[in-house]
Amino acid sequence: MDFALSQEQQMMQSLAEDISSDYPLDYWRQKDDAEEFPHEFWDELADAGFTGLTVPEEYGGEGLGMTEIVATGLALGRNGGGVSGPNLLTLGPVFGGISLNEHANEEQKQRWLPEIADGAIVSLGLTEPDAGLDTAGIKTTAEEDGDEYVLNGTKIWTTGAHVSDYIVTLARTSPMEDGSRHSGISLFVVPSDADGITVNKIDKLSMRCLGSCEVVFDGVRVSEENLLGEEDKGFYHLLGTLNTERIIWAAIPLSAGELALDLAVDYAKEREAFERPIGKNQGVQFPLAESKMELETAKLMIYKAASLYDKGEDCSMEANAAKFMGARAGFNACDQAIQTHGGMGFADEYHVERLYRDVRLARVAPVSDELVKSFVGTEVLNLPRSY
Ligand SMILES: Cc1cc2nc3c(=O)[nH]c(=O)nc-3n(C[C@H](O)[C@H](O)[C@H](O)COP(=O)(O)OP(=O)(O)OC[C@H]3O[C@@H](n4cnc5c(N)ncnc54)[C@H](O)[C@@H]3O)c2cc1C
């Protein structure tokens, strides 16, 4: 197994690093404080072709895959963006590029993919007040009316909905039936400014520059041409996209952990206590060394999952394992960065408090630690299901 990046992939990673260097840690702190979407950064990513990473070349994109998304995400996070920077890649290349590549018909591809390559923002509307991890429990409905569907219901936590152009939305098109909880759900591309949509930003702990929103659909009409893939099969269509979301959500906390580790190492070299740099103490040094090893190990699983996806092979186990290990390694690194900074770990100006708040999300979303273990326990180890 060779996960070494090709020359082209390395050049892309350098370009992502160059862009990031114009957006230092203070930029992200200000955006977080002001709860402002990083439009300037997004526009620069779009101009450099990153929003079109997964869009095929014939539709104006780069025609690349998850390996490149991971390589780019790691560069964006480690070089200043922390969690929020690489998470932008979900709002176009993953929710847009990958879902449409996989499920859209030719007409839909021609209609939306060039826009996505140019930087259209695409949110994912899956979670609802009564259904998050249990996707089959969604209550939003889409009823057929002539050649239109009428959507009613409420989504929560839809990240970027307040600035997005489209929301890829899951809705029930047929009632839930015994034994087939996951059928009867369909996927729609809904323009975010459609009549009947109300978007309310949610006050939240972290990743504040990328707002997450409640989205209310009240009689929202979309054409049948906005149905993605087959009616009633949306849940199954989404499974592939969810694996790619897990892979990028493994790289996101990992890259934030790498950034936090860099900050902690610098601080451990500079800060003196008891007349010597704190980093000279093995009590400070060893946990940082452990973090480095955890991060590097998790990175291997992330690239493995990405490479399997790109080859069209089943990557469910690897995507879940990568998500779990990336979140754990990233969280431990940010936690240790706070410990290394002592009291200063709590001061905004040292940035590690923001990374710590942001990285916590990865243990809950888009899939929680518990549900990953449950997947591996039941689907990989064939143990009996607990639910
Ligand atoms: C900042 C933020 C951004 C988000 N962005 C988006 C987005 O853009 N689009 C979107 O659709 N969603 C988004 N989400 C939603 C996110 O994906 C869900 O919150 C996440 O999947 C968890 O679902 P839940 O909140 O319904 O938790 P619940 O399902 O209510 O679970 C609560 C807890 O119980 C545990 N649990 C539940 N069932 C079991 C079980 N059977 N066994 C063991 N433990 C169990 C879970 O692991 C979890 O710890 C976002 C959430 C946040 C906080």
- Domain map (residue ranges) of the chain: 7-118, 122-231, 236-380
pLDDT 10s digit of each residue in the chain, 387 long? 788 899 999 999 999 999 999 999 999 999 999 999 999 999 999 999 999 999 999 999 999 999 999 999 999 999 999 999 999 999 999 988 998 999 999 999 999 999 999 999 999 999 999 998 999 999 999 999 999 999 999 999 999 999 999 999 999 999 887 667 889 999 999 999 999 999 999 999 999 999 999 999 999 999 999 999 999 999 999 887 899 999 999 999 999 999 999 999 999 999 999 999 999 999 999 999 999 999 999 999 999 999 999 999 999 999 999 999 999 999 999 999 999 999 999 999 999 999 999 999 999 999 999 999 999 999 999 999 987
Regarding the beta carbon of 213 and ligand 1, being less than 6 Å apart is answered no
Instruction: Give the model's pLDDT for residue 177.
Output: 73
- Nearest atom in ligand 1 to 205's CA: 1
Regarding the beta carbon of 87 and ligand 1, being less than 6 Å apart is answered no
Instruction: Give the model's pLDDT for residue 179.
Output: 67
Mutation to probe ligand 1, out of 185, 364, 373 (largest number of atoms < 8 A from CB): 364
Nearest Cα residue to atom 50 of ligand 1: 157
The reply to whether domains 7-118 and 236-380 share a CATH topology is: no
Instruction: Give the model's pLDDT for residue 1.
Output: 77
Regarding the beta carbon of 5 and ligand 1, being less than 6 Å apart is answered no
The pTM (predicted TM-score) of the whole model is 0.97
Nearest Cα residue to atom 3 of ligand 1: 157
Regarding the beta carbon of 95 and ligand 1, being less than 6 Å apart is answered no
Mutation to probe ligand 1, out of 199, 213, 368 (largest number of atoms < 8 A from CB): 368
Regarding the beta carbon of 83 and ligand 1, being less than 6 Å apart is answered no
Regarding the beta carbon of 319 and ligand 1, being less than 6 Å apart is answered no
Please state which architecture CATH assigns to domain 236-380: Up-down Bundle (1.20)
CA of 242 to the centre of ligand 1 (A): 13
CA of 366 to the centre of ligand 1 (A): 7
Regarding the beta carbon of 138 and ligand 1, being less than 6 Å apart is answered no
User: What span, in angstroms and rounded, lies between the C-alpha atoms of 263 and 341?
Assistant: 9
Regarding the beta carbon of 84 and ligand 1, being less than 6 Å apart is answered no
Regarding the beta carbon of 154 and ligand 1, being less than 6 Å apart is answered no
CA of 24 to the centre of ligand 1 (A): 31
Instruction: Give the model's pLDDT for residue 86.
Output: 98
Instruction: Give the model's pLDDT for residue 59.
Output: 97
CATH number 1.10.540.10 is the correct assignment for the domain at 7-118: yes
CATH topology of domain 122-231: Butyryl-CoA Dehydrogenase, subunit A; domain 2 (2.40.110)
Regarding the beta carbon of 111 and ligand 1, being less than 6 Å apart is answered no
CA of 344 to the centre of ligand 1 (A): 31
CA of 133 to the centre of ligand 1 (A): 5
**For residue 77, what is the DSSP state?**
I
- Nearest atom in ligand 1 to 159's CA: 8
**For residue 151, what is the DSSP state?**
E
CA of 364 to the centre of ligand 1 (A): 6
